[in-house]
Each structure stands twice: as C-alpha cells, then as structure tokens.
C-alpha cells in the first residue's frame, strides 16, 4: 500500500508540469513555396519558341543562298513570238550568273533549251573573232563589242563567290547559336552574311551592261533577296533577345 501511494505521488509530480506548445508558421511555408518550387514546376515556353524561330530563319536563309547561285534564270525576256494556225511559238532568253540560254516553247508548255553558252566562252570567241579581222577594231570598239560578255562574267562570278561565302557564314552561325558563349557572335555573323548577299546583288547589278536594262528579273535575285532578309532578321532578332535577357539578369 505504501508503494502504491509513492507511485501515485510520482505520477502526479511528473504530470504537474505543463506540456510545451509547438508553433507552425503557415505563412512562412506558403511564402517559400512559390519562390523556390513554382518556377521550377511551371516553365516559360517563350524563350524556347523564339530560339526555334531563329533556327528556322537561319536554315531557310542557308538553303536559299546556294539555290539562288545555281538558279539559271536571273534575267529573262521573251524575244520572239510566232503564231502558226492555233500553235504559238515563243522564244525566251534567260541570263544567269554564268551563262545565257535560249528557250523555245510551243503553246507555252512544250519547252526546250536550244542554245546555252558561258559568258567566259562568249568573251573568248568575241576576242578571237576580232583578232582575225586584221586590226580593224580599236580599243573602244573592242570594249563595246566584247565588253558586255566580260562584265557579265565578272559580275556573275563575283556574286557567286560572295553568296557562297555568306552561306558558309550562315552554316557557322547555325551551330554557334547552340552555345551560350557564342550566341552574340552568331547574331553578328548572321547579319554580316545577309549584308554580304546584299553587296553581291548590288555588285552584280552594277556590272550589268546597258543591253540588260530591258530584261526582267527572274527567280535568282528574289531568292537571294529573301535569303538576305531572313539572315539579317534572324541576327537582329537574336541580338535584341540577348540584350533583353541581359537587362533582365541585371
């Protein structure tokens, strides 16, 4: 009985102290969650979509640049048209960066190239013909007679080389866009490539002889202009985007 009394006293003594309360700050938990976890759970797809658009623009410009070089029709004009009964015969001249071609069509559908000559070969043939005339032509007459073929040859070859160099620059800019440390350089390269294509077009147009003033533009120059526009637009857009990203980080 004595032991039971001592045990009850010990039990009452141990329970006489009040239990400590536990406080939970709900506001602190709620305030920390959005700043740490919400940004990682909900991502912003806008930067990724912009990068995809830049890649597409660079790829399209890279494809159009060599396509414009291999395109045979930079200048064109219908030089002859004959009607025989219900059949219409047309002959068109197509001037490219390296050669001139003559195309004959029947009713506008059945077409074939009847003649094709390179500018360099035409210039050599012209000079050889003048050389066989025992000096009847003088310097100014030679330039007037054979000079247009030389101008077309120089202008076309120069434009071709410059556009190919621009295509190589676009190829490099495409891969440099994927590296964070070279994105800004890639943007400058893309804009430089577009400017180089514009310079190539300007030089080619400057070298055209007066006889080409009546010819219409074909597909080639438009492909080159579109390539230059996409290249400059992609580089400028990437430059603006990099500046916006830098200002946000600051």
Query: Structurally, how many domains does the chain consist of?
Result: 1
Separation CA 169–CA 66 (nearest Å): 12
Average pLDDT of the chain to the nearest whole number: 80
Q: Select from 143, 103, 113 the least CA-distant residue to 127.
A: 143
pLDDT at 110: 77
| Structural domain of 65 | 46-249
- CATH code of the domain in which 200 resides: 1.20.140.150
**Residue 124 in domain:** yes
How far separated are the first and last CA of the chain, in Å rounded? Answer: 80
Q: Is 215 in contact with 73 (CB distance < 8 Å)?
A: no
**Residue 22 in domain:** no
Q: Quick one: average pLDDT of 170-190?
A: 89
Tell whether the model's pLDDT for residue 247 goes beyond 70: no
**Residue 19 in domain:** no
**Residue 30 in domain:** no
pLDDT at 25: 52
**Residue 39 in domain:** no
Q: How far is CA 153 from the centre of its chain?
A: 26
Tell whether the model's pLDDT for residue 178 goes beyond 60: yes
Element (H, E) at 165: helix 139-176
**Residue 21 in domain:** no
**Residue 24 in domain:** no
Tell whether the model's pLDDT for residue 29 goes beyond 80: no
Q: Is 85 helix (H, G, I), strand (E, B) or coil?
A: coil
Tell whether the model's pLDDT for residue 30 goes beyond 50: no
Q: Quick one: average pLDDT of 14-24?
A: 49
Q: Give 234 or 181, the one with higher predicted confidence.
A: 234
**Per residue in 96-148, pLDDT tens?**
999 999 888 887 777 887 788 899 999 988 888 877 766 566 667 777 888 89
């Amino acid at each position: 009985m004595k032991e039971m009394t001592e045990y009850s006293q010990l039990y009452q003594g141990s329970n006489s102290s009040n239990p400590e309360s536990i406080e939970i700050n709900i506001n602190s938990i709620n305030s920390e969650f959005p700043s740490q976890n919400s940004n990682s759970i909900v991502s912003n797809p806008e930067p990724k979509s912009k990068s995809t658009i830049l890649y597409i623009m660079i790829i399209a410009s890279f494809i159009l640049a060599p396509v414009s070089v291999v395109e045979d029709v930079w200048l064109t004009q219908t030089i002859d048209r004959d009607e025989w009964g219900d059949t219409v015969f047309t002959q068109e001249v197509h001037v490219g960066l390296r050669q001139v071609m003559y195309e004959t069509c029947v009713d506008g559908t059945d077409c074939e190239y009847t003649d094709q000559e390179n500018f360099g070969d035409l210039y050599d043939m012209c000079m050889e013909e003048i050389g066989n005339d025992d000096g009847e032509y003088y310097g100014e007459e030679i330039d007037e007679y054979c000079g247009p073929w030389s101008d077309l040859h120089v202008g076309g070859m120069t434009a071709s080389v410059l556009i190919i160099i621009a295509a190589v620059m676009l190829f490099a800019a495409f891969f440099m866009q994927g590296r964070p440390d070279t994105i800004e350089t890639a943007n400058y390269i893309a804009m430089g490539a577009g400017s180089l294509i514009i310079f190539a077009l300007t030089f080619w147009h400057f070298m055209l002889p007066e006889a080409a003033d009546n010819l219409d533009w074909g597909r080639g120059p438009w492909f080159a202009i579109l390539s230059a526009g996409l290249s400059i637009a992609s580089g400028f857009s990437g430059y603006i985007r990099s500046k916006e990203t830098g200002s946000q980080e600051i």
